[in-house]
Amino acid sequence: MNIISPRFLKSFYRKEPLVSILITMGAVDALIGGLDDSWSLFFFGLGTAGVSLAYKWWRVQQRPPLPEEPVVQYYLPSNSSSPSLPMLSVSKKKPPL
């Protein structure tokens, strides 16, 4: 099995759990209906998966576009002449024996 596939499925299920479950249910129903020659179950599964995919595609189209340039915030001051934190020094004493 492809290594990317489980990662893709996990991220897909986390982002849209309801749509993912409906697509899985529809695919399984279509598979069972196709193998058992139960055409009503086959078409019901295809319809469920198709409507779920259409809903997901519609939701993707409704998302606002991402901003072009992210805002960068600096939490530490730039290099200045006086440091705001003291310098740490290591003592060269020998540990007690």
What are the residue ranges spanned by the domains of the chain? 17-62
pLDDT at 10: 74
State CA 20 to chain mean position distance. 13
Question: Residues 29-50: what's their mean pLDDT?
Answer: 94
Phi/psi region, residue 71 (left: phi>0; alpha: psi -120 to 50; beta: rest), is: beta
Q: Cα 45 vs. chain centroid, distance in angstroms?
A: 26
Task: Characterize 47-66 residue by residue with b for buried, 16 or more Cβ atoms within 10 angstroms of its Cβ, and e for exposed.
Answer: ebbeebeeebeeeeeeeeee
Mean pLDDT of the chain: 80
Does position 17 have pLDDT exceeding 90, yes or no?
no
Smallest Cα–Cα separation from 25: which of 53, 61, 60, 1?
A: 53
